[in-house]
Amino acid sequence: MATASANIAPPPTPRAASQRIGELDHAVAERHQRADARRNREKIIAAAEIAFRELGTAVQMEDIARRAKVGVGTLYRHFPTKEHLVAELATHCFSGCISEAETALATVDVWAAIECFVYRNAEQMATDAGLRDTFMAACQSGGIWAGERDRLNQRLATLLERAQANGSVRQDVTLGDVQALMCGLSAAIAGGGDWRRLASMMLAGLHAPPPTPAAP
């Protein structure tokens, strides 16, 4: 699994590689399509979201198809690859986080905004394996949904910058550290810790005064 687990196999066929996610994919979605097709797409996404929350990237395509009351063939008509489908779901996760980050950016008290951001995410992670897996995968550079991740990182970067200018976050913390921390928080919550305490500890670590001199 490591992690857990994640098992999106690298596409064995050359076929999938020929489609950029978010290009042709959306093009197909937009273009004139039959009513039943559109309906099925909705059903699939709805079912996939639930399953993703429950099982994370370990969801199985057949499981999703079953929940959506649709054949696997139909599933693959709409999403040529598991990776494409997961990317769609991960994008939803990210856009949620992004809008939270934006409300944080609109808040005057930077530190309170950060606290709020972290608590909100931690709370959701407690019941959403998909969100946790998304944060974990976000650390691997160059993933498929790198675009969305970078949009989030952009927000977090300015948030971090302000907080450091403000003195409310340790000066030596980098954006990479923040990313890693979110990833760590996911894992810790997945590991069964109490999300509230874990979030508060993470915040304390960020907030802390100048780092204590390192022990040998």
Contacts to DNA by CB under 7 A: 7-9, 11-13, 15-16, 32-37, 40, 59-62, 69-74, 76-78, 80-83
Is residue 177 near its own copies by the rule CB under 8 A? yes
Instruction: Show the binding pattern over residues 124-163: x = contacts its own copies (CB under 8 A), - = does not.
Output: -----x--xx--xx-x-x----------------------
Q: Please say whether the beta carbons of 57 and 6 come within 8 A.
A: yes
CB of 211 to its own copies, least distance (A): 5
In whole angstroms, what is the distance from residue 68 CA to residue 47 CA?
Answer: 5
In whole angstroms, what is the distance from residue 67 CA to residue 89 CA?
Answer: 16
CB of 98 to its own copies, least distance (A): 19
Tokens of 149: 């991740």
User: 133: part of which helix (H) or strand (E)?
Assistant: helix 129-139
In whole angstroms, what is the distance from residue 35 CA to residue 203 CA?
Answer: 48
Q: Please say whether the beta carbons of 148 and 89 come within 8 A.
A: no
Contacts with its own copies by CB under 8 A lie at: 1-8, 56-58, 112, 115-116, 119, 129, 132-133, 136-137, 139, 141, 170, 172-174, 176-177, 179-181, 183-194, 196-198, 200-208, 211-212, 214-216
